[in-house]
Amino acid sequence: MSDDARRIVLERVARATAEVRDDDPQAAHAALAREYRQGDDLDAAARLDLLEARLVDYGVDVVRTRAGDLASVLSAELTRRRARRVVVPEGAPDAWIAAAQGRVRVPDDADPTVLDDADATLTGCAVAVADTGSIVLDGGPGQGRRAATLVPDVHLCVVPASRVVGLVPEAVARLHDAVAAGAPLTWISGPSATSDIELIRVAGVHGPRTLVAFLVRDA
Amino acid sequence: MSDEPVRIPLPFHRAAPQALLDGQLRRNLGTATTTIRAKRAAVTAETPDWQELRQAGKAIKEHTLRNLGHYLERLEASVTRAGGVVHWARDAGEANRIVRDLVAQTGAREVVKVKSMTTDEIGLNEALAEDDVVAIETDLAELIVQLAEEEPSHILVPAIHKNRAEIRELFLEAFALDRGELSDDPAQLAAAARRFLRERFLEARVGISGANFAVAETGTIGVVESEGNGRMCTTLPETLITVMGVEKLVPTWRDLEVFLQLLPRSSTAERMNPYTSFWSGVRDGDGPRSFHLVLLDAGRSLTLRDDVGRETLRCIRCSACLNVCPVYERVGGHAYGSVYPGPIGAILNPQLRNGPHDAELPYASTLCGACYEVCPVAIDIPTILVEMRRRGVEERRSRSVLPASSLEDAALRVAARVFASPSRYEAAQRLARLGQAPFVKNGVLRGLPGPLAGWSDARDLRPVPRTSFRAWWRARGKEGT
């Protein structure tokens, strides 16, 4: 039955495209015009400023800090948020683990019902896009499993300046190898939101209602 | 097509006048379309390479559709390699059968769903109900529409026809709350939905989604959304089933650099939507343990046969054409009798579904061209609308529903001759000036006789003026000024 369906659908498609398909699709694809921008013309400082402006526009709390101060800044934020139970994923740098000291550390592979009881999640990111204010997680070290940044109500996300790019094409290029290796991605552009009721924007539906981004200048 | 769910809507010309009488629908739609239009204009204007992105989006989609067989087989191979299972469905009935069997194997009585037009198109919820499986729509607007037992009125904001008081009543009953526990404040309503759905997400064993994109190269599926319900449905359940039309794929991961810019700006008019999820098959220890991808034909391979069909299939379901359409803005989505309303629905339905009333949908347009201007993949909707009208006439002639030659044809042939010659044109003006006198009331032509009545009853037509521009221009020349 299902083999039949496969054969028939592919036959129909082959018949429909017989006159127009390319002999070498890969070569034809490579020849497609891409005249849009592949990068921005900002310097690193201006790019970081743009990212901050975009994040603030989405309702993200932004904290600027230096690598050396990160542990104390994170710890202060956790205290301010009254976070007692904190998800700190595997592969997290020492500074984050130090920041979570004295709190209950929830592993990122915990059952969703356990994650539901956590107060906050502390992760890094793979790349961030200044133009669109997007933060992308690919499950790499310190980024955790997808549920860990989804179920708890507060997400604290560390964004090192070295991981900030200007435009979407640069981010897509950086993520290629992770995707090809099967990594799932989560693109986050502000906390979750809906405008479904009378077009009035309500922040925070199912994902974390609070997103705090720590923009870290290197050195 | 016999497997299509039985849901025979009114034809557009009967549904539209009813919709026009709904004051709330018209007000809400007017506000929604105006707001989204202005926002879209702003976020595209700030993108200096918008036209280049649009051309690239068009080129990538056209290339993919021309080589669809090649890329479908690549997609199948890469999804399988990533640990997913690929199923093929010739039509809606077959797709529903596949999903019902997969759900039955899990023993689940309840599934959580991400908003998906494709599963609406095939009537999946109704099919699951036959097995007593409850499909819970988790997008807030879809949930509202589902609780109200209605149909979405807009692709992007499906519950735009409901106001907060109505939504409160629906939630009070569905979530079994006392009146004191829930006000009609949108934030409170959203919070109530969050609590209700959180339990469903944590318990759900099966998630069902559509797909905004599938990448042939890597077997990656993408879902864009705002609320986080999509992340919940594609991450928490043990089993994930995705139903997608065969036209939804792109060749390579890199191609998404174009569509991730085009879609959010055209759709919700944001620089980027709050959440986008990508996954490839299954990932050990992260997310669902089994993943099934159902590839749906249902008229797509037939539509693929010609240039017009391929152009139509480029659509990425952003809904920008709805928001700029003067017809859609007034009648809303229900009048189109399909999950695909508006200008894109008017060209998609006659090709994909060819339902009993679909041939009249291409007439639900003024051919103003705004839909083409905003389309992120540059579908020339106005030209295709005219082509669909032509096909509709030919089809009705071949069935002898229309005579081979009509009064209208004769009239248009005469008009063509008149407009082709200045002297004939001016003679016609003189004739009209004499003939129109009995029908001019308050400066407007009304109540024209015979077949012309259909025109003058619904439109305010200005009479031919006493002095035409051409006559005025000639007189002006003679005066030597």
Strands A104-106 and B444-445: unpaired
In the CATH scheme, what is the code of domain B53-301? 3.40.50.10420
From A37, A69, A70, A64, select the one nearest A51 (Cα to Cα): A64
* Residue A160 dihedral angles phi and psi, to the nearest 5°: -70, 145
Q: Hey, are the CB atoms on B297 and A9 less than 8 Å from each other?
A: yes
pLDDT mean across residues, chain A? 95
**Over the Cα atoms of chain A, what is R_g?**
21
Give the residue extent of every domain in chain B. Answer: 53-301, 407-478
Taking the CA of residue A124 and the nearest CA in chain B, the distance in Å comes to 17
Alpha-carbon span A46 to A26, nearest angstrom: 38
Chain A touched by B20 (CB under 8 Å): no
Q: Hey, are the CB atoms on A206 and B73 less than 8 Å from each other?
A: no
**8 Å CB contact between B443 and B462:** yes
Reported confidence tier of residue B1, pLDDT bands at 50, 70, 90: very low
Residue B380 has pLDDT above 90, yes or no: yes
Report pLDDT for B9: 78
**8 Å CB contact between A130 and A40:** yes
Sequence-ordered alpha helix ranges (H) in chain A: 2-17, 25-30, 44-57, 70-80, 94-99, 112-115, 168-180
Alpha-carbon span B12 to B303, nearest angstrom: 22
From B127, B56, B62, select the one nearest B94 (Cα to Cα): B127
Chain A touched by B302 (CB under 8 Å): yes
Helix (H, G, I), strand (E, B) or coil at B224: strand
The arithmetic mean of pLDDT across residues B368-390, rounded, is 97
The arithmetic mean of pLDDT across residues A68-77, rounded, is 96
For chain B, positions 39-68, list CB contacts with chain A under 8 A.
Answer: 48-49, 52-53, 55-56, 59-60, 63, 65-68
Report pLDDT for A1: 52
End-to-end CA distance of chain B: 70
The arithmetic mean of pLDDT across residues A127-132, rounded, is 98
Q: Hey, are the CB atoms on B275 and A17 less than 8 Å from each other?
A: no
Residue with the larger pLDDT of the pair B399 and A162: A162
Reported confidence tier of residue B480, pLDDT bands at 50, 70, 90: low
pLDDT mean across residues, chain B? 92
Report pLDDT for B14: 93
**8 Å CB contact between A65 and A86:** no
pLDDT, one tens digit per residue, over A3-49 is: 799 999 999 999 999 999 999 999 999 999 999 999 999 999 999 99
Report pLDDT for A114: 95
The arithmetic mean of pLDDT across residues B134-157, rounded, is 87
Side-chain-side CA neighbours of residue B26 (13 Å): 12
A vs B, Cβ pairs < 8 A, gives 256
Reported confidence tier of residue B458, pLDDT bands at 50, 70, 90: confident
What is the largest distance, in Å, between two alpha-carbon atoms of chain B? 91
pLDDT, one tens digit per residue, over B272-294 is: 999 999 999 999 999 999 999 99
Listed range (A203-212, B77-86, B273-282) with the worst mean pLDDT:
A203-212
- Orientation of helix B68-81 relative to helix B50-66, angle to 10°: 90
Q: Which of B141, B257, B305 sits opposite A168 (nearest CB)?
A: B257
Report pLDDT for A219: 55
Sequence-ordered alpha helix ranges (H) in B7-159: 12-20, 23-45, 50-66, 68-81, 92-106, 117-122, 124-129, 140-147
From B90, B117, B102, B128, select the one nearest B295 (Cα to Cα): B90
Helix (H, G, I), strand (E, B) or coil at B134: strand
| Alpha-carbon distance values, B480 to B28, B215, B467, B474 (Å) | 56, 70, 19, 10
* Residue A203 dihedral angles phi and psi, to the nearest 5°: -85, 135
Residue B5 has pLDDT above 50, yes or no: no
Residue B223 has pLDDT above 90, yes or no: yes
Alpha-carbon span A99 to A108, nearest angstrom: 16
pLDDT, one tens digit per residue, over B300-328 is: 999 999 999 999 999 999 999 999 999 99
Among the CATH numbers 3.40.50.1820, 3.40.50.10420, 3.90.120.10, 3.50.50.60, which is that of A42-217? 3.40.50.10420
Q: Count how many residues are written for chain A.
A: 219
Alpha-carbon span A67 to A85, nearest angstrom: 24
Chain A touched by B129 (CB under 8 Å): no
From A144, A130, A110, select the one nearest A43 (Cα to Cα): A130
pLDDT, one tens digit per residue, over B328-344 is: 999 998 899 999 999 99
Would you state the structure tokens that stand for residue B276, as one six-digit string? 């986008």
Would you state the structure tokens that stand for residue B135, as one six-digit string? 């499909």
Q: Hey, are the CB atoms on B198 and A206 less than 8 Å from each other?
A: yes
The arithmetic mean of pLDDT across residues B84-102, rounded, is 98
**8 Å CB contact between A65 and A214:** yes
**8 Å CB contact between A216 and A95:** no
Highest averaged pLDDT of the listed ranges B48-57, B136-145, B463-472: B48-57
Q: Which of A109, A165, A206 to mutate to test the interface with B (most CBs of B within 10 A)?
A: A206
Q: What single-letter amino acid sits at A41?
A: D
Minimum Cα–Cα distance from B54: chain A residue: A36
Residue with the larger pLDDT of the pair A1 and A136: A136
Taking the CA of residue A69 and the nearest CA in chain B, the distance in Å comes to 29
Q: In chain A, what residues touch B31 (CB-CB under 8 Å)? A: 199
Q: Hey, are the CB atoms on B31 and A199 less than 8 Å from each other?
A: yes
Report pLDDT for B4: 43
Residue with the larger pLDDT of the pair B412 and B480: B412
CB atoms within 10 A of CB B38: 11
For chain A, positions 50-79, list CB contacts with chain B under 8 A.
Answer: 54, 58
**Over the Cα atoms of chain B, what is R_g?**
26
The arithmetic mean of pLDDT across residues B212-217, rounded, is 98
The arithmetic mean of pLDDT across residues A132-159, rounded, is 97
For chain A, positions 138-177, list CB contacts with chain B under 8 A.
Answer: 139, 145-147, 150, 168-169, 172-173, 175-176
For chain B, positions 332-371, list CB contacts with chain A under 8 A.
Answer: none
Taking the CA of residue B265 and the nearest CA in chain A, the distance in Å comes to 10
**8 Å CB contact between B116 and B241:** no
Minimum Cα–Cα distance from A15: chain B residue: B305
> Does the model's pTM come out above 0.90?
yes
